[in-house]
């Protein structure tokens, strides 16, 4: 009888010990997952979001510089200083947009492990490619429009603007969709981290 009770106590002790070890292993696995997610968020997701915001900002500033030159060419006597400054800004922000596009391509080449974020990464890569294509087209178009404007060929300018309007609308749509992808990626990553923390918390009770 005593031997049977001792055997049961020993079995319970072994069972408790194995359960403790199992919980510790699962908890450690979850800690590793959280660490990976936190690192991925900090080194990939946040820089991607920053580059996307930078792309939108520099694209807008380039357009403002273009509009300054366009207006100045319509003046009876264009101001050389205004033109010089705006032309420098166009070149500067064109380079910056290209840098943001390249940085986005590099960041989006680091695919996450889960299918949900992989799909968003693939979608974002496609959007970046389309943005780059339209951006290059609009760079050439902007130069042509300004040349025609400077030469006083307003009819040709109007035709070019009409031709370019859809490209501009598409570009804005792609930028908005890319921004939406970045927000969703950040949301998914944060949710994964929070779920892991909750899991560890309950396991520690």
pLDDT in tens, 73-90: 888 888 999 999 999 999
Work out the pLDDT band at 166, boundaries 50, 70, 90.
Answer: confident
Q: Give 18-30 pLDDT, tens digit per residue.
A: 555 554 555 555 5
Can you spell out the DSSP letters for 118-179?
HHHHHHHHHHHHHHHHHHHHHHHHHHHHHHHHHTT-HHHHHHHHHHHHHHHHHHHHHHHHHH
Q: What is the mean pLDDT of residues 83-105?
A: 94
The count of C-alpha atoms lying within 13 angstroms of the C-alpha of 60, restricted to the half-sphere facing its C-beta, is 8
Give the span between the Cα atoms of 133 and 75, in whole angstroms: 33
pLDDT of 54 strictly over 80: yes
Work out the pLDDT band at 159, boundaries 50, 70, 90.
Answer: confident
Question: What does the buried/exposed string (b/e) look like for 170-204 if buried means 16 or more CB atoms within 10 Å of the residue's CB?
Answer: ebeebbebbbebbeebeebbeebbeebeebbeeee
Give the span between the Cα atoms of 51 and 60, in whole angstroms: 14
SS3 content of the chain, % helix, strand, coil (to 5): 90, 0, 10
Give the span between the Cα atoms of 32 and 78, in whole angstroms: 63
Expressed in angstroms, the distance from the first to the final Cα of the chain is 35
Give the span between the Cα atoms of 124 and 9, in whole angstroms: 59
């Amino acid at each position: 009888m005593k031997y049977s009770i001792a055997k049961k106590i020993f079995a319970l002790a072994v069972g408790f010990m194995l359960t403790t070890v199992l919980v510790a292993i699962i908890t450690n696995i979850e800690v590793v997952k959280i660490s990976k997610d936190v690192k991925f968020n900090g080194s990939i997701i946040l820089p991607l979001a920053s580059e996307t915001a930078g792309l939108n900002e520099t694209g807008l500033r380039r357009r403002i510089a273009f509009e300054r030159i366009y207006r100045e060419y319509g003046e009876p006597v264009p101001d050389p200083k205004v033109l010089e400054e705006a032309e420098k800004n166009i070149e500067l922000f064109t380079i910056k947009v290209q840098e943001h596009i390249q940085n986005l391509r590099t960041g989006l080449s680091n695919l996450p492990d889960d299918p949900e974020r992989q799909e968003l990464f693939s979608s974002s890569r496609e959007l970046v490619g389309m943005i780059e294509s339209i951006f290059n087209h609009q760079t050439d178009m902007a130069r042509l429009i300004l040349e025609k404007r400077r030469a006083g060929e307003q009819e040709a300018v109007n035709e070019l603007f009409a031709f370019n309007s859809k490209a501009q609308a598409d570009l804005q749509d792609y930028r908005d969709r890319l921004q939406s992808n970045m927000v969703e990626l950040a949301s998914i990553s944060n949710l994964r981290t929070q779920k892991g923390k909750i899991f560890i918390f309950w396991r520690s009770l």
